[in-house]
Structure 1
């Protein structure tokens, strides 16, 4: 189907076309056993109408969600739209698009699937996650579809994610765990989501130098599984 709007940016296509065998996340999780198959959608889009297309990202945006605070698993944490690959799904791409429509109202007809990153097993959740890279030529209104699942939907400028002022290392006190994290648009982004964003920015060539010695403890509200 022919679509108008800005084409897939070169940096996003670069990540989709690059071999990911040496990706840090791939190496870090290679020894972990595979779990239940799931998929998430990393949905990028062009700068909103009337917004200057500044920076290396050209003003692009990324969709993030804040999980409902009443959920038993990872309440209030920031994630990408996504979930389990159901038997009726035609693989991880189909699952990621279905979940995005169910969670935030993003119609699959408006999304170009650019590629996928390798499946990443996560011992904490028991899932093996496939990140799907999507591009919105013409961003549509999105929001909370099911408040029992999602508390907020935030369209974040990529330039805010690359801004060194918004980056630091999150330290988990119990696990002696330190990893890249972000604070943007009132969201505290850490854990798998933040690590994936950080590695994506590296692969895309969008990372700007930031202070990796700035270590901050993970807020207590996020330490409940």
Structure 2
């Protein structure tokens, strides 16, 4: 279980675009409390990992992040945007291996096109009793990706961080349980929950966030489905 941000070596960092540096400086040594108010238990029902994959279309385009939208027919998390990822398999050597394997299975990501940069602190998702380790990575050689199984993944998007940081696209969502957390309405998707929490923190740590109205609070549409047309 990752207790703090574990960042790649200084030599490897020199090959990353300049916009990485503020983020790496902040996450180096960051703890779970920087991402969530929930304490992380020592054990849970399952361990898992997600891939927070940052890339850029071109040198002047600015960074983006890869997300998928789950199929609307799924029993759990139907229609919800998320990072690629899932539960650890016995053959996975570490959390990065889990995240990359899941991304290959879900969106056809070539693991050799990715450079793992850091393991973020392990976080607890109470509703599923999962311990989740976000794996931060640089998409060194981007290539086309797509849903590998439409029954599980409806679409795949590269969301520019500039669009996520746009105050017009930011809000907070109130869950029927009473929980209120950050959210993004972008490209006909409502990104909320665990994924939005990670993105919101990374925007702050990387210096991309700009002031936005936290008074914009909306109820979760429908029964938890995420698309907003």
Q: TM-score, normalised by structure 1?
A: 0.87
Number of the residue aligned with 1:56: none
Q: Deviations over 1:5-40 (max 9, x none)?
A: x72421343344242254141x42336862300000
Number of the residue aligned with 1:198: 200
Q: CA deviation at 1:221?
A: 3.8
Given that 1:182 and 1:190 are in contact with CA atoms closer than 8 Å, whether structure 2 keeps it comes out as: yes
- Taking the TM superposition and a 5 Å limit, the aligned residue runs for 1:212-223 are 212-222=214-224
1:178 paired with 2:187, answer: no
Given that 2:68 and 2:155 are in contact with CA atoms closer than 8 Å, whether structure 1 keeps it comes out as: yes
State the alpha-carbon separation in 1 of the partners of residues 146 and 202 from structure 2. 24
- Taking the TM superposition and a 5 Å limit, the aligned residue runs for 1:3-18 are 7-8=16-17, 9-18=20-29
Given that 1:166 and 1:184 are in contact with CA atoms closer than 8 Å, whether structure 2 keeps it comes out as: yes
State the alpha-carbon separation in 1 of the partners of residues 168 and 98 from structure 2. 35
Q: TM-score, normalised by structure 2?
A: 0.85
For this pair of structures, how many residues does the alignment match? 211
- Taking the TM superposition and a 5 Å limit, the aligned residue runs for 1:1-225 are 7-8=16-17, 9-20=20-31, 22-25=33-36, 27-30=37-40, 34-46=44-56, 48-49=57-58, 52-53=60-61, 59-172=62-175, 174-222=176-224
Given that 1:166 and 1:183 are in contact with CA atoms closer than 8 Å, whether structure 2 keeps it comes out as: yes
State the alpha-carbon separation in 2 of the partners of residues 19 and 69 from structure 1. 35
My pick for the range that moved more, 195-204 or 107-116, is 195-204
Gaps of 5+ in 2: 1-11
Gaps of 5+ in 1: 54-58
State the alpha-carbon separation in 2 of the partners of residues 32 and 189 from structure 1. 28
Q: Deviations over 1:28-87 (max 9, x none)?
A: 2336862300000000002x14x843xxxxx11100110011111111101000000000
Q: CA deviation at 1:134?
A: 0.7
